[in-house]
Amino acid sequence: MKIAVILGTRPEITKMAPLIKIYQQNQADFFILHTGQHYTYQMDKVFFEQLELPQPKYNIDVGSSSHAEQTGKMLIGIEKILLEEKPAVVLVEGDTNSVLAGALAAAKLGIKVGHLEAGLRSYDRGMPEEINRVLADHLSDLLFAPTSKAKQILLGEGIDEKKVFITGNTIVDTIFQTLELARSGKDVISDLNIKPGRYFLVTLHRQENVDNAVRFGSILEGLGKIAVRHKLPVIYPIHPRSRKQMSLFGLQSDNLTIVEPLDFLGFLQLESQARLILTDSGGVQEESCILGVPCVTLRDNTERPETLEVGSNVLAGASAKRITESVDIMLKKKDKWANPFGDGRAAARIVKIITEEVNG
């Protein structure tokens, strides 16, 4: 049984990593197809190096462009490779354009599609990710839901229960496998001249935030205010999209420490020791919850409601006032929460299910 792992962006690499490692250890017949959606060293290759992953067999180098152009180029490139390689199953993870293109190209060729992180919904069709994840789920033959809530969402949309498996999220596997290494590795905290537990960590890159000058400006204002109010440094490893938009809009970043995107182990070290994390990232909402660090989400909704339910996360939107209020609330949190995303064995479960379901 030949398996194609299709990925294209930083979060897909971190979440596919434990699965790829199992296939590598088992000497399974598999290959990695990289779409090239992310291509800068700090957004791409550094993750392969640090997570000790094999190089992709193919990289179709689509690079950056509009949604339709990027997705279209991916479809053309992926189809050619799938026709040649004839895998029995294509695996995709998450909600990016690479996921949509991989699932669509495979489904049209009659190749089975497995979707990791199925069943997440923000119910906000203004997000490109929501469109991608709904379509990917409905194109898939095997849907790996991280939680029972995600499974219920899929059943509610009429997806056959036989196709849906609750597995946990593979990001828990990745964190369990790398946290020690991240903590004992290069001392990013000292390099930044900050102290454990005495800084805020920010990530912000979502299209609906950073491509909107008013929202982006208002969030930066809120971040500046919390730095002054709590007398703590605010570290913002900036995504290339956000860097570009900030300079396009001429926005200022008073009181923030803006740094280049960090490698995975360095970022994990910063996450695990932060006083509080502010983010609009899907993955970072999960990681903060798993690591026991309070989170304020800079969005009006989330497809990770489990984090709100366990109390690790609150939604603050883009208003400077709500951001400062939300930080005050989360800093008072004393009790710890249970991790709702699984036990760190999601990848092994997924591999077993694929073998059973595809081999019959």
Could you give the residue numbers annotated as active site? 205
Can residue 8 be called a binding residue for ligand UDP (CB under 6 A)? no
Q: Segment contacting ligand UDP (CB under 6 A): 146-154, 278-286, 302-310, 332-340?
A: 278-286
At 197, which helix (H) or strand (E)?
none
Give the closest residue to 341 by CA, choosing from 298, 314, 303: 303
Between 111 and 127, name the residue whose CB sits nearer to ligand UDP: 127
Contact letters for ligand UD1, residues 79-98 (x by CB under 6 A): ----------------xxx-
Crossing angle of helices 10-25 and 346-359, rounded to 10°? 70
Which string of DSSP letters, residue by residue, matches 229-257?
HHT--EEEE--HHHHHHHHHHT---TTEE
Q: Tell me, by CB under 6 A, how many residues bind ligand UD1.
A: 20
Between 11 and 317, name the residue whose CB sits nearer to ligand UD1: 11
Exactly one of 22, 28, 31, 43 binds ligand UD1 (CB under 6 A); that residue is: 43
Cβ–Cβ < 8 Å for 130, 106: no
Q: Segment contacting ligand UD1 (CB under 6 A): 82-90, 233-241, 299-307, 336-344?
A: 233-241
Between 59 and 152, name the residue whose CB sits nearer to ligand UD1: 59
Cβ–Cβ < 8 Å for 229, 324: yes
CB burial of residue 137 (10 Å; 0-12, 13-18, 19+):
buried
Can residue 305 be called a binding residue for ligand UDP (CB under 6 A)? no
Query: Where do we find the tokens 């906000």?
Result: 124
Smallest separation (angstroms) from ligand UDP to the CB of 238:
8
Instruction: Give CA separation, 264 vs 120, 278, 298, 359, in Å.
Output: 24, 17, 22, 35
Exactly one of 264, 291, 305, 313 binds ligand UDP (CB under 6 A); that residue is: 264
* DSSP strands (E only) in 172-329: 200-203, 234-237, 256-259, 276-279, 295-297, 313-315
One-letter amino acid of 247: S
Q: Segment contacting ligand UDP (CB under 6 A): 112-120, 147-155, 282-290, 316-324?
A: 282-290
Between 87 and 281, name the residue whose CB sits nearer to ligand UDP: 281
Smallest separation (angstroms) from ligand UD1 to the CB of 96:
3
Smallest separation (angstroms) from ligand UD1 to the CB of 282:
6
Smallest separation (angstroms) from ligand UD1 to the CB of 239:
6
Cα separation, 7 vs 12, in Å, equals 6
Exactly one of 4, 6, 7, 9 binds ligand UD1 (CB under 6 A); that residue is: 9
SS3 92: strand
Cα separation, 269 vs 178, in Å, equals 10
Residues that bind ligand UD1 (CB under 6 A): 9-11, 37-40, 43-44, 64, 95-97, 128-129, 205, 239-241, 244
